Chain A
Amino acid sequence: MSCGGPLSAVMSIAGAGMLPGAGAIAGLGSSLGVSSTLTSTLGSFNALPITGQFSNIVSSATGVLGGGTLDSLRTLGAGTFPALTNAIPGGFASALGPIAAGGVFDGGFTGLISQTASSIMGSGDLTQFGQIFNSSQGFIGQANQFVNSGLNLDGISATFGSVTGGMDSLITGGFSQVSEAFGSLGADLGNLGNLIDMNNLPNLGNPSALVKQLASVGGLVPGVESALRTAGLDSGTIANLATGGFVDVGDSANKLLYDGMTSITGTELDQVKNVLGVRTPGITNMADLLNPTKILPTSFASLTMPTPDGLRGIYATAGGAVNTNLERFLVDPTAPAYTGDDPIVRARLGLAPVEATV
């Protein structure tokens, strides 16, 4: 976009040719005008003997014949073979009324085309053409926004509705499905540093995933490594976790790992928080970093989840009692299809299809 910058050399020349009086400047000339191809095309038609003959008749009749008779002459053949009289084709008289009242025009149909073209080009004043062009482009841009909105409606509709939170979800990119207390949620998330790996959300709450994230961000601290050994993990698995890889360590080992995290407090916990950048108050042991009520202390009560019935609160009470009604959507394989995982929606969101929850 050149707006704000200088004009290039050729743009300067082109623009000079649009200024008033440019046409009379030798070596510059007017830069724009009615299409020369249009002019020659209409000229060829007008040069047909029959066209010229009838044009002369109309010209001679003007001022001689009465208005009604003259109009009948100028619309002669309009409904059958208008090219034989250069009449405005029948059926278009009304629509062309704004530029050819009564369906007639001095100079006939080709005259109307020529005059309209010339007028759009400013009738020699290219500054007027500029105004018309700018108006047209503004209109086109705005009109096409409407048209394209209609074209995109099917895709938008797939993500719209009570299930996903309606227009709020549309204008927030889906964040309103998480919470509508954006200020508080943003502040809570801002205190979490790099605690959550956004590319590993399916494993949110998994102790191994937390260890993986810790290792990815800054490395394991001694207390965590000790907890891993206490959980019975072999050296290879620990080494893999230590380099930031995610390993499914098994439920039993993972449980032992979680239990170990509950014992990581004090200085060791501070090390973990420092590595992750967590500044959230009230974290008393590493396992708290897996508890939404602890890591989102001011906003957890506002959290919601999309269900086939609509958005539902994750917590039943402001005190932190979880909404057990949600369990059926997470564990029951016969539950209605999870609308939030609709392939159309997910495709629009650029997400891979969600795996089975059980």
Chain B
Amino acid sequence: MTTYNRLKKIIPADQALANQALSRSLRQVKDIFDTDLPAVAEAVGELESNRDLDLINALTTPIPAVVTAFVGNVLATGTGPGNTLTTNDVIGIAAGATVTTEIPVATSVIQELANIGALDGLTANGGTASSSTNGVYTVMSFCLGNAYTIVTPGPPDTFTITIPSPLPGQGTYGPDLSFGNVIDAAFGNLIAAANIVIANIATTYSSETAQANETTNACAEQLVLNVTNCIAAGIDIGNVVNDPANANLVANSVSTVLGLTGQLHDIGLDITAGGAAQFFENIANTTTLSGQAVIASMREGRNIAVLNAVGIVLDTQLVDVNANTTVANNLGTAQYTVAEARANIII
């Protein structure tokens, strides 16, 4: 490297300074060492600045904090690297994301509790409506089956529900002209009784309860993630789930399928955790020819990528000979003249 102190002994000092300064400026350009002068000249001639964009030029940080904060509030946090979003974060529930690993735990816990009789306070059935061993759920079932209902003929008829002691919700409800009133009253007490039983189970079997709750909460979080992101993505998730006819979707849109089919190779390349390939692997119907073809298409896409990397191109990869290369003529210039650039310089 030639230093300024040396160079000014070799060529005129002012030229030495200018050359050293220009050298420093040029070396600030990314990868300039890997270029040649003709290529640089061509590129520089077509560059554009932020001329006349006063707000952009006034920025003191690349992305103002207000922008970062606003975006953070609008976009849900994803589960990908750096909180990026994955396919599972938006629609993963259809592929069983989280649920297929978590719900079996809850199933197992409840089965174990049932096996040791821990749930008898809810589910036990003594065989008759008045059996003293009946659990709350059993009493509810008998109640809805009118096992405790007495209809006193009228007119007008009156209704009374009597749940015998020592059953949960024991007591007499009515008489009342409205059956709805008396069964609502009975269920008010039955629900309260059930809450107590459930609370006792949760206390007595706290670790099992925590384990089961962790799994159901995880599933709920997955659902919330999907709902939140679908809404942000403009997917009318409320109507999609509850009223499909009013969702903002077009039924029997063949063009959509054609487009989606053409994406299968690219979908197969997204092999990240929670990504598109994993999603399609889970929703592909492996019992049908077409479902297996979905998986085969993704594998084909990955093969193409591998083969392309070593220079082998498959017959299906054709060049788009109809690509539009005409440049729009209404894109304004954003270059400074020398005089204008000069006017902006600080000495």
Cβ contacts under 8 Å, A206 to chain B: 2, 7, 10
Please give the distance in Å from B28's CB to the nearest CB on chain A: 4
Among A31, A60, A113, A139, residue most surrounded by chain B Cβ atoms (within 10 Å): A31
B224 engages A92 (CB within 8 Å): yes
Q: Which residues of A contact B48 (CB under 8 A)?
A: 171-172, 182
**How far is A84 from B289 in the complex, measured between Cα atoms in Å?**
40
Q: Is the CB of B23 within 8 A of A202?
A: yes
Partner of A15 from B41, B107, B219, B260 at Cβ < 8 Å: B260
Q: Pick the contact of B137 from A14, A50, A169, A182 — CB < 8 Å? A: A50
Which residues of the other chain, A, contact B32 by a CB distance below 8 angstroms?
198, 201
Q: Which residue of A lies closest to B255 (CB)?
A: A127
Measured in the bound complex, the distance between the Cα atoms of B282 and A201 in whole Å is 56
**A194 CB to nearest chain B CB (Å):** 6
Tell me whether B260 and A130 are in contact (CB under 8 A). yes
Residue B110 interfacial (CB < 8 Å) = yes
Q: Is the interface of B mostly helix, strand, loop or mixed?
A: helix
The 4 closest A-B pairs by CB, nearest first: A17-B290, A186-B45, A29-B288, A205-B19
Chain A nearest CB, measured from B73 CB (Å): 12
Asked whether, in the complex, the Cβ of A53 is within 8 Å of the Cβ of B141, the reply is yes
Contacts of A255 in B (CB 8 A): 9-10
| Min C-beta distance of A81 to chain B, whole Å | 5
Against B, the Cβ 8 Å flags (1 = close, 0 = not) of A267-281 are 000000000010000
Partner of B220, one of A38, A92, A185, A324: A92
A344 at interface, CB cutoff 8 A: no
B152 interfacial by beta-carbon distance below 8 Å: no
Tell me if A227 is interfacial: C-beta within 8 Å of chain B.
Answer: no
B341–A65 touching, CB < 8 Å: no
Q: Residue A27 contacts which of B56, B258, B289 (CB distance < 8 angstroms)?
A: B289
Q: Establish whether residues B93 and A314, one from each chain, have CB atoms under 8 Å apart when the complex forms.
A: no
With A10-B297, A136-B90, A305-B25 known, 8 other A-B pairs at CB within 8 A are A13-B290, A31-B290, A33-B291, A69-B184, A153-B68, A190-B41, A199-B34, A207-B11
Contacts of B11 in A (CB 8 A): 205, 207, 258, 287, 290
A201 to B29, CA, bound (A): 11
A10 contacts B342, C-beta separation under 8 Å: no
* CB contacts between A and B, total, < 8 Å: 621
Quote the shortest CB–CB distance from B168 to chain A (angstroms).
13
Chain B's closest residue to A320 (CB) is B14
Contact present for A207 and B10 (CB under 8 Å): yes
A-B contact pairs, 18 of them (CB 8 A): A2-B316, A4-B322, A14-B264, A32-B280, A32-B285, A60-B145, A92-B224, A113-B219, A131-B250, A140-B86, A164-B28, A175-B43, A192-B37, A204-B19, A205-B7, A205-B19, A310-B346, A350-B30
Is B336 within 8 A of A178, CB to CB?
A: no
Is B38 a contact of A81 with CB atoms below 8 Å? no
Is B62 interfacial (CB 8 A cutoff)? yes
List, in ascending order, chain B residues with CB within 8 A of A192's CB: 37, 41
Chain B residues lying within 8 Å of A302, measured Cβ to Cβ, are 336, 338, 341-342, 345
- CB pair A137 B62 closer than 8 Å: no
Per-residue CB contact flags for chain A residues 22-57 toward chain B (1 = under 8 Å, else 0) read 100001111111111110011011001111011011
Please name all residues of chain B whose beta carbon is closer than 8 Å to the beta carbon of A147 when the two chains form the complex: 75, 78, 82-85
